[in-house]
Amino acid sequence: MTALLGLDLTDRRVLVVGGGPVCARRATALLTEGARIRLVAPYLCEDLAALADVGAVDWQAREVTASDLDHVWLAHTATGDRAVDADVARWAEERRVWCVVASEATTGTARTPATAREGELVIGVVSEGAPDPGRVAAVRDSVAEHLRDGADLRRRRRVPGTPGHVVLVGGGPGAVDLLTLRARRALAEADVVVTDRLGPRSVLEQLSSSVEVIDVGKTPGHHPVPQHEINRILVEQAQRGRSVVRLKGGDPFVYGRGGEEVLACREAGVPVEVVPGISSALAVPAAAGIPLTHRGTVAAVHVVNGHDGLDESACVAMRDRSATVVVLMGVSALATMAAEALEHGADPQTPVAIVERGTTPTQRVTRGPLAEIAGLAREAGVRAPAIVVIGDVAAPGLLEPSADAMLVP
């Protein structure tokens, strides 16, 4: 029977016998785990030679002997010579040293597992009897994918005794499967989640019932929890020794006031980190099939906050058609912005697209020329959250092949 054990090889000597690619891969992995490598082989492949040249391994340029097994914790042999590998395994067993024989797993006393790391977890899979590397790798990948997908959000992995801290998590534009892996790990370790109205709110249903959720969401013109109060909540919760996730829509540093929250934490001496998110300014147009840059059309992007109105650069970009203008939080100010752009010389026929609830099942796109878009939006009942894209890339059919192109054999 095979038992799985996690070995701490940090600063412990491991013998690697053989100079080929198999030993190179294993030596590299052992070095990552902190082991001190004694490498015995007459000749080395290029990768092992590079490790020896920088002193990462203690290379003995000769054939292996029984004394090489003295004072080591683990041995790994892959010489390509079955008789030599068998000798190494026998010498190791005489000294009660665990030994991996790469050429014949049943000969050694240990097997190298197929491994993957996910956060603080190390996944290891081995087979019994005849080696089955394909199945072992498939099982490892399946388990790792399960963890990466965040299926373990109800099984919190926070290390007990760690100090309180804040993690600003960019939740992306709304679809749960656009959360990053790092964002999911942060949520899995949270004691409390301070969440916005936007972003992937349905992920909250996957959290452990012991996680406290504090809703500080804002709607247009209605901010029940002002920013200074949000800052206070983050600091206070962390000072209580809790792991605090600030779940925000999009990216924390793109019109998300993430900088203010980081500053508040640092001023209070609270550790804080930022997990980037997929910004709605980039993701929502892409989800609607609108490329913000397109060769031969436009090569620059200008992002503005609709609450602040259009700046001079945005007006120039629309007038000269030198950049795509992307407006976040601009639905309520759409008529004012369109009028301002026209006053600055923008072409009334400039294409505009409004993407509501981007990346979600209820995504909707409303299009029209700049001079008419405000009226069309009113008729369609456009509501926030929405992203406004202004420029030639918003033209319908931009990515549709021309009739002539489709006739080319």
- Catalytic annotation, residues: 196, 218
Q: Are 174 and 278 in contact, with CB atoms under 8 Å apart?
A: no
CA distances from 288 to 102, 179, 283, 329, 356 (A): 51, 18, 9, 17, 10
C-alpha 287/C-alpha 270 separation (Å) is 37
Residues contacting 365, CB < 8 A, separation 6+: 288, 353, 354, 355, 356
Measured in whole angstroms, how far is the alpha carbon of residue 263 from the centre of its chain? 24
- Please identify which residue in the block is written with the tokens 């709605």: 280
Task: Assess whether the previous peptide bond of 361 is cis (omega < 30° from 0).
Answer: no
- For the chain, the distance separating the N- and C-terminal CA atoms, rounded to the nearest angstrom, is 62
Q: What is the DSSP letter of 22?
A: H
- Please identify which residue in the block is written with the tokens 């923008």: 346
Q: What are the beta bridge partners of residue 302?
A: 325
Q: What is the DSSP letter of 113?
A: P
Measured in whole angstroms, how far is the alpha carbon of residue 233 from the centre of its chain? 27
Tokens of 402: 């021309």
If we measure between CA atoms, which residue out of 52, 358, 57 comes closest to residue 178? 358
C-alpha 187/C-alpha 117 separation (Å) is 18
C-alpha 88/C-alpha 92 separation (Å) is 6
Angle (CA) 196 202 208, round 5°? 95
Amino acid at 90: R
Tokens of 63: 């054939």
